[in-house]
Structure 1
Amino acid sequence: MLPVVESIGQGIDREAKLFFEKHKPPTDLIFDDGAEMESNRHRIAMTVLIRSLEQGFAHRNDFFVGGNMFIYYSVKQVRNQDFRGPDFFAVLGVDGTTSRQGWVVWDENGRYPDVIVELLSPSTAHEDKGKKKDIYEQVFKTPDYFVFDPFEPNSLQGWRLDASLRYQPLVPNERGWLWCETLGFWLGTWEGIVDRETATWARFFDESGNLVLLPEEAAQQQAETAQQQVEAAQKQVETAQQQVETAQQQAEKERQRGDRLAARLRELGDDPNTFNQ
Structure 2
Amino acid sequence: MVRLDATPPQSETSEPVYVETTELVSPEGVKFPPTNLYSDEPPLETDFHREQIDLLIRLLKYWWSDRNDFYISGNLTVYYNEQQLRKKDFRGPDIFVVMGAEKRDRRSWAIWEEGGKYPNVVIELLSSSTATVDRGKKKDLYQDVWRVPEYYWFHPETMEFAGFRLIGGIYVAIEPTESGRLPSEQLELELGIHDRKLRWFTAEGELIPLPEEAERQAADQARQQADQERQARERLENYLRSQGVDPDQIA
Is the CA contact (8 Å cut-off) linking 1:51 and 1:214 kept in structure 2?
Answer: yes
String of CA shifts for 1:129-187, please: whole Å, max 9, x gaps: 1111111112211100001111112x11111111x222111122333322211111221
CA RMSD of aligned residues (A): 2.6
Work out which of the residue numbers 213, 216, 221 in structure 2 matches 1:220.
216
* Displacement of 1:224: 1.8
Q: For residue 103 of structure 1, what is the amino acid of its counterpart?
A: W
String of CA shifts for 1:71-128, please: whole Å, max 9, x gaps: 11111112222224111111112222x2212212111111111000000001001111
String of CA shifts for 1:185-214, please: whole Å, max 9, x gaps: 2212112xxxxxxxx111122222211212
- Which residue pairs with 1:10 in the alignment? none
- Which residue pairs with 1:17 in the alignment? none
Structure label with greater radius of gyration: 1
Matches for 1:1-277 after TM superposition, within 5 Å: 24-27=32-35, 29-33=37-41, 35-96=42-103, 98-153=104-159, 155-162=160-167, 164-191=168-195, 200-235=196-231, 242=237, 246=241, 250=245
CA distance in structure 2 between the aligned counterparts of 1:23 and 1:147, rounded to whole angstroms: 37
Q: Which runs of 5+ in 2 are unaligned?
A: 1-25
String of CA shifts for 1:6-31, please: whole Å, max 9, x gaps: xxxxxxxxxxxxxxx97510125232
Change (3 A) 1:221 1:23: farther
Q: For residue 37 of structure 2, what is the amino acid of its counterpart?
A: L
Q: Which runs of 5+ in 1 are unaligned?
A: 1-20, 192-199, 253-277
- Which residue pairs with 1:9 in the alignment? none
Q: For residue 139 of structure 2, what is the amino acid of its counterpart?
A: K
Q: For residue 102 of structure 1, what is the amino acid of its counterpart?
A: S
Change (3 A) 1:101 1:226: farther
CA distance in structure 2 between the aligned counterparts of 1:251 and 1:224, rounded to whole angstroms: 33
More strand by share: 2
> How many pairs are equivalent?
219
Change (3 A) 1:244 1:42: same
Query: Which stretch of the first structure deviates more once superposed, 56-65 or 85-94?
Result: 56-65
CA distance in structure 1 between the aligned counterparts of 2:31 and 2:212, rounded to whole angstroms: 45
Is the CA contact (8 Å cut-off) linking 2:37 and 2:107 kept in structure 1?
Answer: no
- Which residue pairs with 1:13 in the alignment? none
* Displacement of 1:236: 5.6
Percent of aligned pairs sharing the same letter? 39
* Displacement of 1:70: 1.2
Is the CA contact (8 Å cut-off) linking 1:117 and 1:147 kept in structure 2?
Answer: yes
Change (3 A) 1:26 1:237: same
| Secondary structure in 1 matching 2:153 | strand
